[in-house]
Structure 1
């Protein structure tokens, strides 16, 4: 576990808003530190594994993959973690989420062009030993940056971080 201060949290928030188009100087202006501090902090956040990567948000419908399906599955608890990589290997699967306990412990999001893709993916999941509890056609997904841990000024922790 890495202890984050308000500067780190502010940098993470700004990157979540738009990592591709935010310069170090723009982030620095928001969190009230120097651009070099922002670059150093981002490098450290990456080294610590807090920032795992930068991923594009894809509109699958515009990319000619109009069918998005969420499969809610049950996997044997002792095999669930090992199954994730196998599930991700199925063409069309774009996201896998594990829950900690009980049935309905794996959520699998898939994209495709039609029913044939859904059937192929369903069959592949069954062949792996997953039990599909439900499948839902998704119409839209929205996410937002996590910034709910601030109770006061989000970027000022009272310290002068400009010399880092």
Structure 2
């Protein structure tokens, strides 16, 4: 991956709907060269998709929380299947430490949070934290230094 690929990734992370002509202008390449590079990044699995970012509060889900769920090893697969089927769960990652899963959920009201916690407690111990702010929103990891 060279400096052009990094510039393309940075621009796409800001606006995944950018047209190739505008992207080409920003990275100082031709539109066909940019299209070719984007296709190669997709084939290599560097670009895994294009997503819309929304504000959950503006669609009626003002309560966001992080729930640590400690799961017994033998039930892990079953719990993952159940968590995947819960629409209020917007993200779930496997973590190290005493908890096995870290779940991010978006909910319309506190009773819905209580219901979700009740469902999850069937599978293990929970620890819930309410999100009050997102001072660092999702972003790209460092892409490395530009090559000369």
Q: For each residue in 1:55-102, what CA deviation from the matched residue of structure 2 results, as whole angstroms up to 9, or x when unmatched?
A: 111111111111111112223456546643431211211111122x32
**CA RMSD in angstroms, aligned pairs only:** 2.2
Q: Which runs of 5+ in 2 are unaligned?
A: none
TM-score calculated relative to the size of structure 2? 0.84
Tell me the distance in 1 between the aligned counterparts of 2:116 and 2:21. Answer: 45
1:20-99 matched pairs, under 5 angstroms: 20=17, 22-76=18-72, 80=76, 83-99=79-95
Structure 1 counterpart SS, 2:14: helix
Tell me the distance in 1 between the aligned counterparts of 2:41 and 2:28. Answer: 18
- Relative CO higher for 1 or 2, CA cutoff 8 Å, sep ≥ 6? 1
**2:15 maps to 1:15:** no
**Runs of 4 or more above 6 Å deviation:** none
**TM-superposed deviation, 1:34:** 1.4
Structure 2 counterpart SS, 1:61: helix
CA distance 1:54–1:148, change in 2 (3 Å): same
1:115-134 matched pairs, under 5 angstroms: 115-127=110-122, 129-132=123-126, 134=127
**Contact 1:90/1:124 (CA < 8 Å) preserved in 2?**
no
Number of aligned pairs? 147
